[in-house]
Structure 1
Amino acid sequence: MMKPVLLAGEIFHITTLASTGLETGASSRYSNGATRYIQALMNSQIDVVQIGGDRCEHEFPTTMDELDRYSVVVISDVGALSLLYTPETRLGKRSVNRLELIRRWVEQGGALMMAGGYTGFQGMYGAAMFHGTAIERALPVEISALPDGLEAPEGLDPVIASSDHAILSGMTAPVPFILGLNRVIARVQSDTRTLMCCKHGGSDLPLLSVREYGSGRSLSWTTDIGPHWLSADFMQWSGFDRLMANMVRWLAREI
């Protein structure tokens, strides 16, 4: 039986201020951007363990054995610092570099997916900061040193570049539009393939790329796994569940 997927990120703490003159009130709430994604995997009998970005410092695995409890690690809308900081770091002590740990885990047979968003890849404001980190070396794409978020309210239409890949098996066309992505650079290597891209400004921007890295596998999905870059049409698309599950199953060598 396939081990659970570990999803890091996609929990947002939202604080709102409302003013009616001199009277001001504050409210806060938590929001989970991965609800639809998690349901898609559960519909395919894939269990998911989610650790929000606010909990990564204390709860994200710090050893290979802890990572081995999972079939795939998915990093989505949580930046590098949330994974690099540990309780020991804050006390001024040496600690594990989780990004290097993940890279070694993938090289030795693990599986990694990075999804896009405002704090994916380099991030909308450059705050995700995955450029130049160990984890970038394991991905099928190179990450810009500059802010890489692209808002596209007009919509971007995904183009399938490698329809013969197992991840795209049984996909219905056309794939619905998206509303943004992180602009990355596809690696030109024999162990890497771009399966989907989006045309923008005369360029083909990678959307879905895969890589065989050492004994493991990695995948980049440069748009959201939920709103808002994933359009309502995309999340209601009949192929959504299958595509999300196929990504995970390919990474776990289940297909």
Structure 2
Amino acid sequence: MTKVLLAGESWMTHSIHVKGFDSFTTSAYHEGGTEMIAAMRAAGLDVTYQPAHIAADHFPLSAEALAAYDVVILSDIGANTLLMPDRTFARSEPTPNRLRLIADFVKGGGGLLMVGGYLTFQGIEGKAAYAGTPVDDVLPVALMTRDDRSERPEGVVPAIVNGAHPVMAGLTEWPTFLGYNRSMLREDATLLAEVDGDPFIAVRTVGSGRSAIFASDCGPHWGPPAFLAWPGYGPLWANLCNWLAG
């Protein structure tokens, strides 16, 4: 059974409500990967989920711990969360560079999938900050060094470039998406789908391992409800993870 570690897809909101003279605040916790996780588990994948605030301190800190998984998925979690666990940021204790651990994991035979969002690729205001890191080096795309979002409120449908690839098996009649992260395809990567010349799905063999990108969200807001209800939703993630696991 393919073992998958998904990190990210969680956030807090703190809202200020103003009603005339008076105001008050509310807080809420959200997870955005519920449907994705359910779809992967339904496809027979063994999924371990670490929300972003959990991954900060509990994402594997050694090659041995990371080797317990076949595939790592980074979805809407910035590089800083993995680079600065509490013991390093708050207590100035050295810790392993987990971005380098991920890159070595791929080169040694593991699989890596980066899913788009406001805090993956380079992200909003460039705050995801993966450009120029070891993770960037092993992706099938080169990341931009600025805010790389392509907001498409009118909706866009990805164009299939290589429908014969195993990742694309059974995936037809794609729904629309409301945005994605832009990047540049590497020469040794394989483009599977694109939007207006930008890579949407791409894969790459790196050393003994494999990497892939899905440039849009796994759910709202870039991936609208029609994407979650699409018959290809579960097969998409299963195909990606099984291919990445070799």
Partner of 2:223: 230
Aligned residues: 245
Partner of 1:250: 243
Distance in 2 separating the partners of 1:43 and 1:215: 28
Distance in 2 separating the partners of 1:197 and 1:32: 27
Q: What SS does structure 2 have at the residue aligned with 1:125?
A: helix
* 1:180-218 Cα shifts (integer Å, max 9, x gaps): 0001000112xx10100012xxxx010000000000010
* 1:1-255 correspondence to structure 2 within 5 Å: 1-3=1-3, 5-90=4-89, 91-172=91-172, 174-189=173-188, 192-199=189-196, 204-253=197-246
Q: TM-score, normalised by structure 2?
A: 0.97
Deviating above 2 A after TM superposition, structure 1's stretches of 4 or more consecutive aligned residues are none
Q: What SS does structure 1 have at the residue aligned with 2:119?
A: coil
* 1:44-103 Cα shifts (integer Å, max 9, x gaps): 011221111112221110001111111210000010000000233122232211001110
What is the Cα deviation at residue 158 of structure 1? 0.6
Name whichever of 64-73 and 210-219 sits farther off: 64-73
Distance in 2 separating the partners of 1:31 and 1:48: 19
Distance in 2 separating the partners of 1:52 and 1:232: 22
Distance in 1 separating the partners of 2:93 and 2:17: 41
Q: What SS does structure 1 have at the residue aligned with 2:167?
A: helix
Structure 1 unaligned spans of 5+:
none
What is the Cα deviation at residue 27 of structure 1? 1.1
Distance in 1 separating the partners of 2:226 and 2:56: 35
Query: Structure 1: which amino acid aligns with 2:202?
Result: S
Query: Structure 1: which amino acid aligns with 2:195?
Result: C
Query: Structure 1: which amino acid aligns with 2:193?
Result: M
Distance in 1 separating the partners of 2:5 and 2:145: 27
- RMSD between aligned alpha carbons? 1.1
Structure 2 unaligned spans of 5+:
none
Q: What SS does structure 2 have at the residue aligned with 1:13?
A: strand
